[in-house]
A and B are shown apart, each in its own frame.
Chain A
Amino acid sequence: MKFFVRRAIFYVITAWAAVTINFLIPRMMPGDPVAALIAKNQGRLDSSAEQALRVLFGLDSHASVWTQYVQYWRLLLHGNLGLSFSYFPTPVVDVIKQSLPWTIGLVGIATVLSFAIGTLIGAGIGWRRGTWADMLLPVSTFFQAVPYFWLGLLCIALFSVTLGWMPASGSYDRSMVPALTPEFAGSVIRYGTLPALTIVLSSIAGWILGMRNMMVTVSSEDYVTVAHAKGLSERRVMFGYAARNAILPQVSSFALSLGFIVGGTLVMEMVFSYQGIGWALYTAVSNHDYPLMQGCFLMITLAVLVANAVADVVYALLDPRTRQEG
């Protein structure tokens, strides 16, 4: 029990530090939201609009950083993240609510797929070393090594522009309105396939490699030899004895990678015009949208913290050695 209390205190302190840094970093960036907005419009926004924008964003009055910090905590505890500048006057909470499910849905499914497929393949080729299946390793590493945006653009050029099989951008057919219908679900799946495919392709190598290497180590352990000697079936030895022990490190890195899902894959969202939290964060940073930036950072930090906590707990359950005290 003491173990869990200690961890809990650690996480509370980390969360406080993260929230405070979230508050400070945007304010240390050079530039301001109005200048960024004028830059984005490059001459199409008349210069007389500047004053109006400052009044609109409430930037015409100056509060000290300390006052802002206290205010920030007060609003945060009420679940209020303020109004976004770039999507004025939409509350930051709404912007996040609108984009987060898309990222979690797509990147989440892709990560789970990548983990499941990669671990299976890794277990397979780690078990039967020296066969042709080893070739999968360099092939998958190749896809991980090429820059992701290049892979994405290549897939668009091939499957969308040249062959015309897949849509090039968007999260669902633009003429549709989200609803719980088979057509809409089909559209979401259709539009999500190519981005998901590229994410799986570019991330699977890590899972394959990790699992294969552990399998190689584990399969020379005594208990595996004993299982063989007992005359158990090949399959039983592979999954029940070798893979079961080899998967431990995979599980903890999987829990960690779940935390990074919320960070989103910004590049994927850029390349495929997918509406997600990564894009929202990018918009926030390029527009000096402090409230939205803080909101996104907060979500990402919390997600990583929660994932860390889950990894901690899961590992403690799986491997009793980590729980030993003293």
Chain B
Amino acid sequence: MRTRKLAPLVVGLTAVALAVTACSSGSASSSSSGTTGKGSGAVLTVGMPNGTLTENQSPIIPTGSAAKSLGYAWVIYESLMQVNDIKPLENPTPWLATSVTWNADYTEAKIVARDGVKWSDGQAFTANDIAFTLNLLIKYKAINADFPDQIKSATASGNTVTVDFTQPEYVNQIKLLKQVIVPEHLWKDVDPTTYTDTKPVGTGPYTLQSWTPQAATLVPNPTYWGGTPKVAKLQYSSYNDNNALTTALTTGEAQWGWTFIADYKNTYIAKNPKAFHQVAGGGFGVDVLYLNNEKAPFDNVAFRKALSMVVDREQISQLAGSGVWPAIGSVTGMPSPSGDDWIAPDYKGKKQSVDVNAAKALLKDAGYTWDGSGKLVDPKGAKVTFELVNPAGWNDYLTALDLIKTAAAQLGVDATVNAANQDAWFNDIIPNGNFQATLHWTDGGATPWNMYADVMDGASYVPLGKTATWDFGRYKNDEVTKALADFRGASDDATRKSSLAVVQKHFVDDAPALVIWARPAVAQYSTANYTGFPTDDDPYANPQPTGPQAAQIVMKLTPTK
């Protein structure tokens, strides 16, 4: 009996003992990382969920660089121009280049280098550095992620660099503007595919002070051409996963970063509504429900259109995307605001809406019937069912699929959701077309071209069972293929507009796939110490810290009063 009475006491004592051990070692040092100090002089901590890193500060290697994955590569090295992803083609801000001019069919660009820029080791920056960097891309395929086999030559003369391309680059033009430039005098004797650049020398507003596997610290570059940055110190911290970064952001330990926070309004913003913000940039990237146009039931255009009419994009955006991924209103699938100017006159203002009766009427006209239990039967007499598939663990996608399944039930269709193995999805389901419907992203790009080409371009068409790079739904329409090619190679806006109108007409009439939501660049930041970040009212740049825009954003930051 005695022991039983003592049990709670023992538990209690254990808890106290734990608390005391924790407390005594906790009080040893009370400063928490990065948040000491207020106003000017405070450290700005940028957090990313990238795990432990290795010492690699190269700004041009496509993967493995700590500097690129955390983002500090872009405050050390700079790009030719600053592009605002919301309207990528409008007025890029001159940066290392004072101007970039293209010829009419976008096969040649003339880049004028800025005067008076110095590398952080004191050497002058010249047009030769630009030409040298572009020639590195020609010489080493492994670092040429943006223009594979597409750069013919790059030569400097005076302060101007002339770049020749092997094909029209209208749709890729911002990739050139976003190219970072490395110093010729330090890079000319190294192999850029394995060079780890541990003492980075750039033109940017900050220089690397110290590096550890979990954080990099940067201090202002005293000779920066654009003036003196007002953030006294930048610290880039790496957390092992999204949860750890979410904790760091909500406790204020990290003040700028990007991670998907489900229910972010309550989990994040509500913790400090005055200082905590989450903003979305623009862009043309969308998530698409690819429908297999060569497999039943989606080989029938009437059924594709009917499904499109019952799927509630707004609801999916709210429930599956936590409101982080904005719904797309336009019937053309163009995300707003980036795509607003690209909508063909016929579809201006036409909104996607849920209309079950119209969908049923459409199916009826196409010869579909319903059996006694209300299930949809196709014109050949077979019951309509389909399977939605995405990799297990991709929770926003899988929730969206569940909502689409519920929507299909309104038409009397039994759909199932299959959470597949990620490797199987990547290596078999997607490229070989072994699916009926699946969610997948599209490339962003500077124009709507990438989005439509990724979904509908007959040039990427391969038969089922062969490896496709895009057009996973096997949509093929020669008119669309030609229009997309025309758009890409056009030398005037009128041709581009008319080609795009053809593409959009078929996108609406043939419903080759369902555009579900936009996937803009989103970022979280705290204005407790510094303000000047892009906001919803003044979206002057992509708000994420991991891109060439970082140099522009840090130069706009000022201490909060």
Contacts and interface: CB of A to CB of B under 8 A. Distances in A.
A177 B454 CA distance: 46
B10 interface: yes
A130 B62 CA distance: 65
Contacts of A178: 212
Given A90-B56, A165-B26, A175-B235, A170 B33 contact: yes
Interface stretch (B306-314, B436-444, B480-488): B436-444
A84 B51 CA distance: 15
Contact of B244 (A86, A90, A169): A169
Contact of A48 (B18, B145, B211): B145
A36 B64 CA distance: 13
A169 to B, nearest CB: 5
A30 B25 CA distance: 46
Interface string B51-66: 1111110000111100
B240 A43 contact: no
Interface in B107-155: 141-148
B52 A161 contact: no
A51 B141 contact: yes
| Most B-side CB within 10 Å, residue of A38, A135, A161 | A135
Contacts of B426: 31, 35-36, 38-39
B148 A132 contact: no
A175 B217 contact: yes
Contacts of A168: 244, 247-248, 251, 253
Interface stretch (B157-165, B223-231, B340-348, B417-425): B417-425
Interface string A161-177: 10001111111111111
B148 A48 contact: yes
A42 B215 CA distance: 24
B11 interface: yes
A312 B67 CA distance: 47
Contact of B444 (A43, A52, A159, A189): A43
Given A89-B56, A273-B244, A197 B421 contact: no
Contacts of B22: 159, 165-166, 193-194, 197
Interface string A52-88: 1101100000000000000000000000000111111
B285 A43 contact: yes
B267 interface: no
Contacts of B6: 132, 135
A169 B248 contact: yes
B51 to A, nearest CB: 6
Contacts of B443: 43, 46-47
Contacts of B45: 174
A37 B239 contact: no
A56 B63 contact: yes
Interface in A253-307: 269-270, 273-275, 279-280, 283
B27 A165 contact: yes
A275 B214 contact: yes
Q: Which residue among A156, A169, A173, A283 has the maximum number of chain B CB atoms within 10 Å of its CB?
A: A169
A139 interface: yes
Interface in B1-48: 2-3, 6-7, 10-11, 14, 18, 21-23, 25-29, 31-34, 43, 45
B240 A87 contact: no
A309 B83 CA distance: 61
B33 A175 contact: yes
Given A175-B34, A194-B22, A279-B52, A270 B145 contact: no
A177 B54 contact: no
Given A51-B141, A87-B54, A280-B52, A174 B442 contact: no
A279 B553 CA distance: 32
Contacts of A175: 33-34, 43, 215, 217, 235
Given A89-B194, A134-B3, A168-B248, A269 B285 contact: no
A273 B54 contact: no
Q: Which of B26, B194, B424 has the most CB of A within 10 A?
A: B26
Interface stretch (A92-100, A229-237, A238-246): A92-100
B142 A139 contact: no
A132 B3 contact: yes
Contacts of A186: 28-29
B145 A46 contact: yes
A166 B29 CA distance: 10
What bracket does the count of chain B residues touching chain A fall in?
35 or more
A49 interface: yes
Given A167-B33, A279-B51, A90 B240 contact: no
Given A165-B23, A168-B247, A170-B214, A47 B241 contact: no
Contact of A52 (B23, B144, B240, B244): B144
Contact of A47 (B14, B53, B239, B469): B469
B33 A174 contact: yes
A98 B241 CA distance: 19
A24 to B, nearest CB: 17
Contacts of A89: 56, 61, 64, 193-194, 196
Contacts of B2: 132
A169 B287 CA distance: 33
Given A87-B53, A139-B10, A169-B239, A56 B33 contact: no
A221 interface: no
A256 B3 CA distance: 35
Given A134-B3, A139-B14, A175-B215, A52 B27 contact: no
Contacts of B454: 47
A164 to B, nearest CB: 8
Interface in B188-241: 193-194, 196, 210-215, 217, 235, 237, 239-241
A116 B223 CA distance: 58
Contacts of B52: 98-99, 275, 279-280, 283
Given A46-B175, A89-B56, A190-B28, 16 more contacts: A48-B146, A48-B148, A49-B145, A56-B63, A85-B64, A99-B213, A132-B3, A132-B6, A135-B6, A159-B26, A160-B247, A165-B27, A167-B33, A174-B237, A175-B235, A177-B212
9 contacts: A30-B423, A36-B426, A45-B145, A49-B146, A51-B148, A52-B62, A95-B54, A130-B3, A159-B26
Interface of B: 2-3, 6-7, 10-11, 14, 18, 21-23, 25-29, 31-34, 43, 45, 51-56, 61-64, 141-148, 175, 193-194, 196, 210-215, 217, 235, 237, 239-241, 244, 247-248, 251, 253, 285, 287, 391, 421-424, 426-427, 441-444, 454, 469-470, 519
Interface of A: 29-32, 35-39, 42-43, 45-49, 51-53, 55-56, 83-90, 94-95, 98-99, 130-132, 134-136, 139, 156, 159-161, 165-178, 183, 186-187, 189-190, 193-194, 197, 201, 269-270, 273-275, 279-280, 283
Name the 6 nearest CB pairs between A and B, nearest first.
A31-B423, A43-B441, A88-B64, A165-B26, A49-B145, A56-B142
